[in-house]
Amino acid sequence: MKVNDHTTLQVWIAQLRERGHIASKQRILIMQALFQQREIADMEDFWIALRQQHPVSWATFYNFIRLALKENWIKKETGTSNYTRYQILID
């Protein structure tokens, strides 16, 4: 991770805390993974890959994604044939 990327991630974590949310280890791991990916085609596949490296439950992951959508940190784009893609908005 580059210095600028690390700074941006720290800003994201600060926003999480400023908005009254807990910056748990699992949430920070999810944030790091999302930030590195920048765009997600399939959240379940993304979670499975993350789960192979870190102990993050589906409930924790799903709840954080809902929070990130609510806080406008990520954007959900639905295309044709029920294709859904997620884009990271924080930079």
Radius of gyration for the chain, computed over Cα atoms and rounded to the nearest angstrom: 13
Three-state DSSP class for residue 17: helix
For residue 9, the tally of other CB atoms under 10 A from its CB is: 18
pLDDT in tens, 53-74: 998 999 999 999 999 999 888 8
Which domains are present in the chain?
3-88 (1.10.10.10)
> Which residues, in sequence order, are CB contacts of 76 under 8 Å at separation 6+?
69, 84, 85, 86
Whole-model pTM: value is: 0.80
Structure tokens at 7: 């700074």
E strand or H helix at 77: strand 74-78
The pLDDT value given to residue 91 = 62
